[in-house]
Amino acid sequence: MEKVTCFRNIGELIQVQPGGETPKLVKKTRCALLVSQGKVDKVIRDSEVNHHDFFREVDLEGRSVLPGLVDCHTHLIYAGDRKDEMEQRMAGTSYMDILKNGGGILSTVKATRQATEDDLYEMARQRVLRMMTLGTTAFEIKSGYGLDLDTEKKMLRVGQRLRKNLQVPITLTYLGAHTAPKGKTIDQYFEFVMEHLPEFRHLADGVDIFCERDVFTVAHLRRLFLHAKLVGFHQLRAHVEELSHQGGCYNAARLGAISCDHLEHGTPHDIRALELSGTTAVLMPGVTFFLGGKKTPPVHAMIEAGVHLALATDCNPGSSPSYNMQTVLGLAQSLYQITPEQALIAATHGSARALDGHKNYGGLLPGQRADFIVLKTNDYRDMFYCFGENFVDQTYSAGKKVKGKKDPVSF
Ligand code: NIG
Ligand code: FE
């Protein structure tokens, strides 16, 4: 007999149906979720549960069950921290000025180069587990704190090890073009990235580039993307229009990017490009919150145009040191003025789409991975309402409960 686990006595169960134009949230009450071989089998009415039919039963005590949250943009493999930058920024030095002075990303590069592969792995593993207990069940992770061959490869090997050992969906991205290392100009370093791109093909699923004033230009982005396609990378993504408008979004979308990320300075022209290309817009309100930015992406114009939206933490030590997608949901509601439903769809199905994983996870639909979270309450909107609290009681990955780890002292 097939081993089916029945998660019964669910107060409300939320699924995300891809639907026609826009994905829809579907709510079922008083139901049971049947899971077989790590996947969703079906949802039945709780009154239909026949206790003899199942290998195992779990009583969810009338709670709310949601698809696991998907964090489609993180830089969670790094060493060191950048707490000192908080004081520097409050004293008037901007995020970009800290970088220009040799700090910022470059200080994380220094610490990450010095860390052993095992130490880096253990720190990243702790972060992933911490994020899972907060409700995240699928991840994207970028390199970009090496800016040399050895460390970039070390970071991506750590990502592969996490994927293999934790058995959770992890998409890996080569972000060699994050900034130039000390001693090289952007142009010099960019040629180095281009030359060695094929060596990363089997370590990462895609490439990314930080297209910004004083960092990489639109011309760099175009060359990187064309070469990455030629080399065989499947996913092209880019940090675009974050601190200024450079034209990266339009060009990335034209060249088939799977996601364009940040977009605080996005224009109607960019929105049109995203709409036509079907590229997902990845929004990260944690960055706006943490850096105290005033500008938010043109979210409502994007929604009106039917652009696919995703939400992510951008988990990194400089611009958004957060592990918590629940916080991102709350910030999206308040900073972007979107509804809990819109935010939740973006953080599940939308983020899965940004990783090309939406067939496999993000909706809690039959046939998908049984990645779900059980809340402390029976109404998912409590997460948005009583802001600032952790509402995730339990996280399940492929039908298995993720054991809450005691928080590590240092992370
Ligand atoms: O997504 N913008 C560039 N990269 C990251 C920040 C990386 C860092 O500050 O360490 C971002 O914001
Ligand atoms: Fe980022």
CA dist 95 and 89 (Å) reads 7
Nearest CA to ligand 1 atom 6: 319
CA of 213 to the centre of ligand 2 (A): 15
Helices (H), 169-267: 186-196, 218-231, 248-254
Integer Cα distance of 212 and 210 in angstroms: 6
Among the listed residues 379, 386, 361, 303, the one whose alpha carbon sits nearest the alpha carbon of residue 13:
379
For the stretch 261-298, pLDDT in tens is: 999 999 999 999 999 999 999 999 999 999 999 999 99
Which whole number is the average pLDDT over 379-400?
Answer: 97
Pocket test for ligand 1, best of 72, 319, 328 (most atoms within 8 A of CB): 319
**What does the pLDDT look like over 94-117, one tens digit per residue?**
999 999 999 999 999 999 999 999
The values of phi and psi at residue 358, to 5°, are -65, -15
Neighbours of ion ligand 2 (CB under 5 A): 314
Residue range 354-364: mean pLDDT, rounded: 98
Residue 2's pLDDT band (cuts 50, 70, 90)? confident
pTM of the model: 0.97
pLDDT of residue 411: 46
Domain-by-domain residue ranges, the chain? 4-68+363-401, 69-354
How far is ligand 1, taken at its centre, from the CA of residue 122, in Å?
22
Nearest CA-CA partner of 381 in 343, 407, 411: 343
| Residue ranges lining ligand 1, Cβ < 6 Å | 75, 104-105, 108, 210, 239, 242, 287, 314, 316-319
Q: Which helix H or strand E contains 67, and what residues bound it?
A: strand 56-67
> What is the chain's mean pLDDT, rounded?
96
Contacting residues for 67 by C-beta, under 8 A, at least 6 apart: 14, 15, 16, 348, 349, 361, 362, 363, 364, 371, 372, 373
CATH architecture, domain defined by 69-354: Alpha-Beta Barrel (3.20)
- Supply the pLDDT for residue 405: 59
- The CATH fold assigned to 4-68+363-401 is Urease, subunit C; domain 1 (2.30.40)
Using the CB atoms, write b or e for 341-352: b if 16+ within 10 Å. Answer: bbbbbbbbbbbb
Distance 176 CA to ligand 1 centre (A): 13
Ligand 2 centroid distance, CA of 114 (Å)? 22
